[in-house]
Each structure stands twice: as structure tokens, then as C-alpha cells.
Amino acid sequence: MIARWLNYVQTTRSFRYAFLVLMSFTLVSCGQEGSSSQGQSSYKDVKSMVIDILGSEDAQKALEKATTEQYGSSTLQIKSLSPSDQEQMKIKIKDVMTSPDYATVLKKMMTDPKFAGEFATAVNKDNKQIHLDLLKDPAYQSALIEVFKTPDMVKILADSMKTSDVRKLINSAVSESIQNPLYKLEIMKLLQTVVKEELSTDSEGGGGKSQSNQQKGQSSSGGGDSGGGGDSGSNSGST
């Protein structure tokens, strides 16, 4: 709807220029005919002739070609509009955006692949900036996190992780990360920490075993001494 209105505004301006040119030629020809006593066409005849000319297919193609050469491949550039036309365009866009039927009309227009592609290209940059700004908003972040926590979203993500394309992407990302020197350094630090923990655990376990072995040795030696004392007592009794 907006594109059609803008096209109408641009085409109307072209019609104005063409009308002025045609009127100039018509007045000159009428003046020449009057001077030669051949009569003068009435205003209605001139108006009808101009309308017929502008309504012809050749005139439409000529106007479109002239406009394209003047303003580039797109005839809907804001710079080509006068201040009054720009103000009218703003009002018209506002009326369309605030209309209750806007969602229905836009949905219907989006079914046209050409319009949908051009519209997406036009608003792509602005949409990216809007999303970047929203990601900095704590409220938007919380809402986004809640969305990802929903069962449906969790199921969708889980199913996506099972696909071969996603697995290939993850493997590629991991391979690229491993080649990163900073990532390698972090892995080395992590491995060193694990090795130190294992060594400290083994040393503590070995110390406990040695203490238990010493205790066992002392107890066995004490038993042998007590046995020797018994032998000496029996010998003295026999004497």
C-alpha cells in the first residue's frame, strides 16, 4: 500500500511535468493556427487530447524511462520528493501503520515473494540494530531466557542438536577452538590442575599405607617379645 502511494506521488509529479510540456506545445500550435486563421481548439479538446496522450502505453513507458534515468533504478527514493510530498508521505505511512487493518494487509502483501524480499532487504539493517539494542535490555534478556526454558523450546533445541548438520557445525566449532592458542593454554592449565590433584591424592594414600604398615610391624614385634618372656619364665621354673 505504501509503495503504491509513493509510486502514485512520483507518477503524479511526472504527469505534472509532462502536462506542462504538452500544454506549452499546444499553446504554441494554437497561436500559430490562430495567426493563420485556421481556428483555435477549445479547452476541452486540449484537455481531452492531453489525457489521451498521457493515458497511452507509449506515454507511460516514456515517463517511466525518464524517471528511472533521473532517479536511478528505484523511483521511490525520498530525495526525489519535494518537502510537501515527504510530509504527505509521513502522514500516509502513519495512517497505514496505525490502521486496525494494517496487520491483515501486511500479511497479505507478504505473500508476494518480490515484495517480501524487497521489504526484508529494506528493513534488515534497522532490524539488526533493534535486536542488538534489545539484547542490552535486562527485561528483554529475562523474557528471552524464559522463552528458551519452555518445554516446547527445549524440545526444539534438543531435536536440532540431533541433526547431522548441527553436529557437523559443533565439531567444526570445536576444531577451530582447539587451534586457538588461548584455548590451548586454558586446556593445558586445566590438565596441570587435574594432574596435581591426582598426585596429591596418591601421596596422601601412600602415607596412610606406610603408617599402617609401621603400626602392624610394631604390634608383631611386641608379640614376639612377650613370647620370649614366657619362655624365660618356664626355664626358671624348671630349674
Please give the Cα distance from 107 to 116 (Å, whole number): 10
pLDDT in tens, 149-200: 899 888 888 888 888 888 888 888 888 888 888 878 888 888 999 898 888 8
**Rounded distance, CA 140 to CA 142, Å?**
5
- Closest of 147, 169, 171, 172 to residue 160, by C-alpha: 169
pLDDT at 227: 45
Determine contact, residues 148/157, Cβ cutoff 8 Å: yes
pLDDT the model gives residue 9: 43
Q: Which residues of the chain have pLDDT under 70?
A: 1-41, 65-81, 204-239
Q: Whole-prediction pTM value? A: 0.28
Confidence at residue 236, expressed as pLDDT on a 0 to 100 scale: 44
Ordered by start, the domain boundaries in the chain are 2-109, 163-208
DSSP codes joined into one string, 101-136 = THHHHHHHHTTSHHHHHHHHHHHHHHHHHHHHHHHT
Position 29 scores a pLDDT of 55
Question: Distance between CA 60 and CA 74 in Å, rounded?
Answer: 16
Taking a C-beta distance cutoff of 8 angstroms, is the pair 100, 5 a contact? no
Q: How far is CA 165 from CA 3, 34, 49, 154, 159, in A?
A: 39, 82, 66, 18, 12
pLDDT at 81 (0 to 100): 64
Task: Determine the Cα–Cα distance for residues 52 and 66; give it in Å rounded to an integer.
Answer: 19
Phi and psi at 42, nearest 5°, equal -75, 165
What pLDDT score was predicted for residue 93? 78
